[in-house]
Structure 1
């Protein structure tokens, strides 16, 4: 079972419908509304679909009301919170550590190992940089976000 199927399964267990939808806009890849997630029907890979689904699940679990208008600060905050939920679900700090322990040497190998797109991983790193600053220490690991993603294990 791939990650997209696992996320679909998770959604189903929580009573969330996931449907393919032919969005006309090139900007919209996914949308959440009242217990239903619509995913753009012509996304090429299940990896990209999983990234979109993770964020939309984040909206289900963290957002309240109509947040489409990004002019409002509260809506932008909810959008960021939903994205952060998706990043934590799909990647997470421990996912970065697992990738390091697996021997991944660069962002492309990490993205491949975690089954996310390169762009999604980059957005996640930027989000973590905004949240944690230069680095974050967990257990015996320090994850640096600035200047580039680097992970070190304390011995």
Structure 2
């Protein structure tokens, strides 16, 4: 079972569907839709973020001009970072000699952009 499948199984109370979409993902009222036309590592990170919305967000936050909505978006992303790439995983990767971002992302089986954002969140990467 892949990490993506494990995360889906952990949240089997949610309706999760992968389908062609314009957006990467969307959460509403216990339902998550993920764009199936992405690499699996990206679908995994998007799934984590959408579950983060389930865990942390309330109401319609699609209007990102609203500061409260932007805060909820950030909170869901932080939840996703801590869920699928906790700082301990980063320490393990570094201890095993995976210090380049592309290599670390491959080692952790996550999207490189998601890893880069997580490293910024943990204040490990300053760029």
Residues in 2 aligned to 1:100 and 1:55: alpha-carbon distance in whole angstroms: 24
As a proportion of its length, which structure holds more strand? 1
Report the alpha carbon displacement of residue 17 of structure 1 after superposing the two structures with TM: 1.1
RMSD (Å), alpha carbons: 1.3
TM-score with structure 2 length normalisation? 0.93
Residues in 2 aligned to 1:41 and 1:116: alpha-carbon distance in whole angstroms: 16
Higher relative CO (Cα under 8 Å, sequence separation at least 6) belongs to: 2
Please point out which of 18, 27, 31 is paired with 2:16: 18
Match of 2:7 in 1: 7
Residue correspondence of structure 1 range 1-155 to structure 2 within 5 A: 1-12=1-12, 15-23=13-21, 25=22, 28-43=23-38, 45-129=39-123, 144-146=124-126
Worse-matched range after superposition: 55-64 or 100-109:
100-109
Report the alpha carbon displacement of residue 22 of structure 1 after superposing the two structures with TM: 2.4
Length, aligned pairs only: 127
Deviating runs (4+, > 4 A) in structure 1? none
Task: Say if 2:36 and 2:43, in contact at 8 Å, map to a contact too.
Answer: no
Task: Say if 1:29 and 1:40, in contact at 8 Å, map to a contact too.
Answer: yes
Task: Say if 2:3 and 2:44, in contact at 8 Å, map to a contact too.
Answer: yes
Is there any run of 5+ residues in structure 2 with no aligned partner, and where? none
Residues in 1 aligned to 2:120 and 2:67: alpha-carbon distance in whole angstroms: 19
